[in-house]
Structure 1
């Protein structure tokens, strides 16, 4: 595959594909998907690149993009690369204070904002950001603050580049663009401390694309990818660049909550997702099986059994399934599996990369049994995403796949996973101490994740920094327990508590709808959700479900007491990061009284 530097990628693809559709986005007024051809993509990028020169953007300086996923994010990215600028994405859910920290840390002059929420957060931070000169607003329906005298809308910004008045400057800058240029600074919304800006250079992306070309051979320019995770996240960002490099059509999903609708409208062949997406699919199927009876129930259970034998016991191991098993599988493929995939919207599925958290063995087995090719992987912002991922055959359930080509992985002290290679960051922006702590003198990056290698298969055991030590001196891994328990259809969110405590407890956010259904079935009376969650029958239901799921854990690792919460953990209260990971210290502080109560004698 020919690799084109990201500064020229879109133009080279336009020469190859012309009026073929490159991107699609949803018009919410008409509920229609609007196509953007490669030619139009290329023209818009050129115009935006000229507009950046008109604004006074200088080479190797930082610009920010603070938006939900929109085609404008990509126009701006590639226009910036043409000018040798560095783009810094901010999570669309960031607060004003978070935005202010990043703008000041990176000395951002121009910030592109998406919708009203991002505009409001950015504008209220404006006075505290001395480097910030201008907001450029993607969404025309955003209402500007009456005091705002500097912001412009994206169409006004593009008008500055109409007729390409500064093309000579852009061309000259693009000619100087090199692999050693900085491409992005990605701020990780760490679960502790202030965010760190991970520097990713163009050589990091070149290498990431090269090793994915070797690994992901099933992908072609006939594929359609649903861009669902935030483009701020390295997983989706690097994946989208890779899709564009392979000529794949990218459909941009604006609002994460809309995925159930948009996936059925697009019916993609590819989509990056997090395990939570598949956990919900699994819970839905379990729910359906629980409601069925007689022959239909027996068939559904048999379909899962047959799928497991066919796909996992035989195909995965590189063996040919017996004829009768194969015929049964084919029957279910046309009936039960087909219906399931169509219901989700993935009946055209090719493969589905999944990472960002641990995937439980049950979920992994289930998804593969019904013939969905979920490519489980592991990666970090600091490694330009993928460190390892499943192969089509020979993947090991419980592992995070096989190490990517030409990436060095070794296991260090405390079983820590160490990485070395061309996809690894050179360090954290303006943070020499943090960089020195993460990358040792031999160039090994310390991930903070513990694991082991079995051949070329990588297994994760726990996040070293997240290990809890009980007051009895026993170490427990909260993620392992949380991953196991969160597959239960009644559990939406869970925070395991154990650090410096004498036993393990948990705060649980239930799936409220299912608890209400249960109350209706059992004829339970209650005033409100808080009252219902205290009901002895509801408490007993959760106790039984937790005990069933935690059997394989050692006695000291099991949840002894739990509290059901009547409202979910939230980003507003700082309990979740932008990538929806738990901030354990904030949860411990916010729920101190409830937690202490679980430890009363």
Structure 2
């Protein structure tokens, strides 16, 4: 029997696959795993503990932790009794925690480690804090779990019967690129409809595949992904950290994983940097294979001679790329922001199928997704609109969405809800186009701007093109109400070092190199070359090289690695002013 509520996924998994490894994490140097039946027993006892301690349907419970099975345990246990989870990013500030605790009327808090506990404690007031680590001052989650052991299971069964598919199960406060976060209200039906739609697009073998999870579970992208993996009987392994990702890939040999373009960009940049370190024939072969890959289009017949060369490149070069990802990856799902077309080309050429999708927290999240077959894959598009979801393009180009995946609204913000959902259509704020079932994103409506000459600029499209340069790591296009567009550029310092070495320019420090005239002149030429892809009014006239990368901790990126443009504009206000001084 198909699940109708998200917590039904675990009994369904037991009945269909009875997994020996359903969830797993690295603990004290080895992998600690939980079977489907272990998960069921733990979430039942947790649900009973919640009931015993007075948690009622509709009560809000915060979860703040990096990815781990305990995250899933609390989430599923709350669902079974009709309580509402409030997942939060571990990286946000204590002030953000305090705002969300108050706005959502959070009753209790679960945290992952001591660092999160310290921030949560500062913001918690008199709320009880439970921890997945045994911390002084917090209640250890296993001690809380013990409260539910030997409690009356019939009480839980009655509580489960009262939970309807249309009930709210979570409120997700979007990190946002500007302003206070909004609480997106999602029901079981919202997310489960999405789970069923994307399950049809997964290519690894049902019941026998492994996935590695490292994107934050508090983001709906990875959370819906996890529910989908549970439904398909995939074993979910949680990476220790982003730093150990390469090592964990080789250990687990995943068949699939979810990622964001920024991480794929970093993987690609590391691969290219290693290519530059090679000598002689090895270096020539590497860049021959790379250039071959950059021409690839999975949908086109590339010709016999091209295919012969590609087969050779796969044996000599690309096989090593696949080994670095564990050697068994069948599907990589990329979302949360736009993927550079060149990355899609080269990874597909290398036999690494990167499938781009599109969605928002408000749509649970998937609106469209690529199918991992050469016939269906379209470079530069975000796949086909998924089952039961409708899309239309408004007169101004905005993408409008309708379907069972669309949120109930923003918590305690009816005006914002009315602004977002009009006449039954959710207004995404993204600009795009539809060709049959296929969807393409061209830019964020709110990020587009006009120059003083009245010309529209779509910055995201330009930024993706400029980042194709091996010398550019990050870039933001600016120029609203100005005479011309300019850019703040963070160099790819690996590429810059290699360039300086090749040109016999002594490399000192990053901060000194971005000021050197020879380096600035090189970037002048690079920008001039890339400007050719754009109309005259779009072309970048001036730029400023920055010596420090933008990150989540430093505030310029959201937890899903999107640019926080407002923060960047404020931080570099003086530099931006200088770009427009004659």
The interval holding the TM-score normalised by the smaller chain is over 0.9
- The equivalent of 2:335 in structure 1 is 355
- Please, which runs of 5 or more residues in structure 2 have no aligned partner? none
Partner of 1:259: 245
Root-mean-square deviation (CA, aligned residues, Å) is: 2.3
Tell me, yes or no, if the aligned pair for 1:478 and 1:496 is still in contact at 8 Å: yes
Equivalent-residue separation in structure 2 for 1:45 and 1:486 (angstroms): 45
* 1:569 correspondence with 2:533: no
SS in 1 for 2:464: helix
Contact 1:69–1:255 at 8 Å: present in 2 too?
A: no
Q: Please state whether the residue corresponding to 1:235 is helix, strand or coil.
A: helix
The equivalent residue for 1:3 is 3
**How many residue pairs align between the two structures?**
580
Under a length normalisation based on structure 2, what TM-score does the superposition of the two structures give?
0.94
Please give the alpha-carbon distance, in whole angstroms, between the structure 2 residues aligned to 1:204 and 1:214: 17
The match for 2:417 among 388, 413, 435 is 435
Q: Answer yes or no: is 1:155 the counterpart of 2:142.
A: yes
Q: Contact 1:409–1:417 (CA<8 Å) still a contact in 2? A: yes
Distance apart, 1:278 and its partner CA: 2.0
Cα distance in 2 for partners of 1:519, 1:400 equals: 37
2:65 is aligned, of 48, 64, 67, to: 67
Range with bigger deviation, 185-194 or 229-238: 185-194
**Equivalent residue runs for 1:492-571 within 5 Å:** 492-516=473-497, 518-519=499-500, 522=503, 524=505, 528-571=509-552
The structure 2 residue matched to 1:38, chosen from 19, 30, 36, is: 36
Match runs of 1:419-498 below 5 Å: 419-441=401-423, 443-498=424-479
Taking the aligned partners of 1:533 and 1:305, their CA distance within structure 2 comes to 28
Q: Alpha-carbon deviations, 1:325-348, whole Å to 9, x = none?
A: 655544443432211211x22410
Question: 1:232 is matched with which residue: 200, 211, 218?
Answer: 218
| Counterpart residue number, 1:387 | 367
Separation in structure 1 between the aligned mates of residue 81 and residue 551 of structure 2, nearest angstrom: 39
Alignment of 1:311-326 (within 5 A): 312=297, 316-317=299-300
**Stretch moving more, 101-110 or 548-557:** 548-557
Residue 130 of structure 2 aligns with which residue? 136
Of 79, 82, 85, the residue aligned with 1:81 is 79
Trace 1:86-485 onto structure 2 (pairs within 5 A).
Answer: 86-127=84-125, 133-140=127-134, 142=135, 144=136, 148=137, 151-163=138-150, 165-216=151-202, 218-292=204-278, 295-304=281-290, 312=297, 316-317=299-300, 328-342=309-323, 344-391=324-371, 392=373, 393-441=375-423, 443-485=424-466
Structure 1 pair 361/325, CA: closer, same or farther in 2 (3 Å)? closer
Confirm or deny: 8 A CA contact 1:304 1:370 kept in the other structure: no
Shift >6 Å, 4+ stretches? 321-324
CA deviation after TM superposition for structure 1 residue 307, in Å:
5.6
Deviations 1:290-338 (A, max 9, x none): 44465434544554566677x73xx624x6x766665554444343221
> Displacement of 1:167 after TM fit?
2.5
Separation in 2, partners of 1:90, 1:306:
43
* Contact 1:65–1:111 under 8 Å retained in 2: yes
SS at match of 2:368: strand
Please list the CA deviations of residues 440-483 of structure 1 after superposition, one character each: whole Å capped at 9, or x if unmatched. Answer: 12x01111101111122111111111112112221111111211
CA distance in 1, matches of 2:211, 2:4: 20
Aligned-pair CA distance for 1:389: 1.4
Instruction: State how far apart, in whole Å, the 1-side matches of 2:288 and 2:577 are.
Output: 46
SS at match of 1:231: coil
Q: CA deviation at 1:363?
A: 1.2
Task: Check 1:492–1:304 CA distance in 2 against 1; reply closer, same or farther (3 A cut).
Answer: closer
* Contact 1:482 1:495 (C-alpha < 8 Å) held by counterparts: yes
1:548–1:347 CA distance, 2 compared to 1 (3 A): farther
| Contact map agreement 2:62 2:86 (CA 8 A) in 1 | yes
Supply the distance in 1 between the matched residues of 2:315 and 2:84 (Cα, whole angstroms). 49
Task: Give the direction of change, closer, same or farther, for the CA distance of 1:402–1:82 in structure 2 (3 Å limit).
Answer: same
SS at match of 2:408: coil
Unaligned runs of 5+ in 1: none
Cα offsets for 1:181-211 (capped at 9, x unmatched): 1111111111122111111101112211222
For residues 410 and 433 of structure 1, the distance between their equivalents in structure 2, rounded to whole angstroms, comes to 23
1:255 aligns to what SS in structure 2?
A: coil
* 1:148-201 CA-partner distances (Å, limit 9, x unpaired): 5xx3111211121222x1433221111122101111111111112211111110
- 1:35-90, CA deviations, whole angstroms, 9 ceiling, x for partnerless residues? 22112121111121112112221112211101111111001011111111111110
- Secondary structure at 1:184's aligned position in 2? strand
